[in-house]
Amino acid sequence: MRRMVLCSFLVLFCLSFGSTLWAHEGNKPALQSKCKYCGMSPDHFTWSRVILEYEDGTKVATCSLRCACVELASNMGVGLTRILVGDYQTKELIDAETAVWVVGGDKHGVMAKTGKWAFAKKEDAEKFKLEHGGVVGGFGDALDAAYKDISDSIKTRRERVKMMKTKVPEKQG
């Protein structure tokens, strides 16, 4: 009986935490089950996920380019070896630097107002642009848009807090 309980615990542990130890390679599970910046699952957002690989072998999976930018800004002194991103069309991981990106358009982004979508093939990016709008560009364009979204979000929050502090409470009674 004791052996059965121990085996059951071991199986549950492996099922619960074992998959968090792998990085994305094709259809393998994510490095972690949740993005450490927003809590969303990189496995769920296969079309926008980003995997950052550092020189020390560390791999960080995020749900979006926005969360990847927060990670990059937090670790500017750490050597980065590779950035992989989900191809919007195929959901497969591709090199972010060589991907063709569509920034903007009518599709709302993941964790951001502005959509930033990566494609392995230029023709897929052009087709997406025709259907949804946006601008075709490179990784630098997508990064610029992501950091602008972060900046705009911070400004909006600061203005909201400032407005709440200056709001005059109504007198009761």
The set of residues, in sequence order, having a beta carbon less than 8 Å from that of 50 and lying 6+ positions away, is 42, 61, 62, 63, 64, 65, 67, 68, 83, 84, 85, 86, 96
Asked whether residue 171 is assigned to any structural domain, the reply reads no
Asked whether residue 2 is assigned to any structural domain, the reply reads no
Asked whether residue 120 is assigned to any structural domain, the reply reads yes
Asked whether residue 165 is assigned to any structural domain, the reply reads no
Asked whether residue 8 is assigned to any structural domain, the reply reads no
| Residue linked to tokens 């709008």 | 133
Question: Torsions phi, psi of 82, nearest 5?
Answer: -160, 145
Least Cα distance to 146 among 104, 107, 105, 106 occurs for: 104
In order along its 173 residues, the chain shows pLDDT tens digits of 555 434 343 333 343 434 333 343 444 444 667 888 887 877 777 888 999 999 999 999 998 999 999 999 998 878 999 999 999 999 999 999 999 999 999 987 778 888 999 999 999 999 999 999 999 999 999 999 999 999 998 999 999 988 888 876 666 65
Which domain does 87 fall in, by range? 23-158
- In degrees, rounded to 5, the angle at the alpha carbon of residue 125 between the alpha carbons of residues 123 and 130 is 95
Report the C-alpha gap between 99 and 118 in whole angstroms. 6
Domain count, the chain: 1
What are the C-alpha distances in Å from 118 to residues 53, 56, 97, 138, 160?
18, 26, 10, 9, 32
Asked whether residue 134 is assigned to any structural domain, the reply reads yes
Asked whether residue 4 is assigned to any structural domain, the reply reads no
Asked whether residue 173 is assigned to any structural domain, the reply reads no
Single pTM value for the model? 0.73
